[in-house]
Amino acid sequence: MFDDSELIRSTLAGKSEAYGELVQRHQARLFRMVFQLTGDRQEAEDVSQETFVQAYVKLESFHGASAFFTWLYRIAFNITVSRSRKKRPTVSVDAAREKGNEPETDMPHVGNDLEREEDIQRLRTALDQLSEEHRSILLLREIEGFDYETIADMLQVRVGTVRSRLHRARASLRELLVKEETEQSTRD
């Protein structure tokens, strides 16, 4: 099996099947991350496809200073931000779930744990209320598990900026969750 750099060199040498291998290798993970940002299956599919097209066109500009997926994610993030600015309002995660636009995952569905489902719903609602900047940094760190340096590379910011954005994002999320919990207890 070839690594990404070998596949990139083959693609640049004119072997399109090598790029197909890169797409297959990274498409599921990219789709999941874009879906987490957009909350809409169709939008995530469109952004993922556009990302791979742009990456192919710009492949010569990839110099290997970061991992290929990091570079790919940066393209996807920019496309997502650009598209969301063009069409406001965005679809919420809740609305996407109601439409059945949930991505397929390997995780088993927990049907009987109502309390856990309510907690997940509150978290999704709170995440949906965060700015795109805060939501994306939380997803990259807490869901995808990227280290600070990789996130900095993906977002083209300094590591210190990643740390401060992550701190503010966590504080905002915590504030939204506390507010929701307070509102819930006053309704009960």
CATH topology of domain 1-101: Rna Polymerase Sigma Factor; Chain: A (1.10.1740)
pTM of the model: 0.64
For residue 103, is the peptide bond before it cis, meaning its omega torsion is within 30 degrees of 0?
A: no
Alpha-carbon distance values, 153 to 27, 31, 67, 150, 175 (Å):
20, 19, 9, 5, 28
Among 179, 31, 12, 166, smallest CA distance to 101 is for 31
Structural domain spans, the chain: 1-101, 110-188
How much is the pLDDT for 114? Answer: 63
Q: What is the mean pLDDT of each run of 10 residues along the chain (188 residues)?
A: 90 92 94 87 93 94 89 90 66 48 45 62 80 87 86 89 93 87 75
- The domain 110-188 is placed in CATH, from the list 1.10.10.10, 3.40.50.12280, 1.10.8.60, 3.40.50.970, at 1.10.10.10
* pLDDT (0 to 100) of residue 64: 85
Give the model's pLDDT for residue 116: 66
- Determine the pLDDT at residue 166: 93
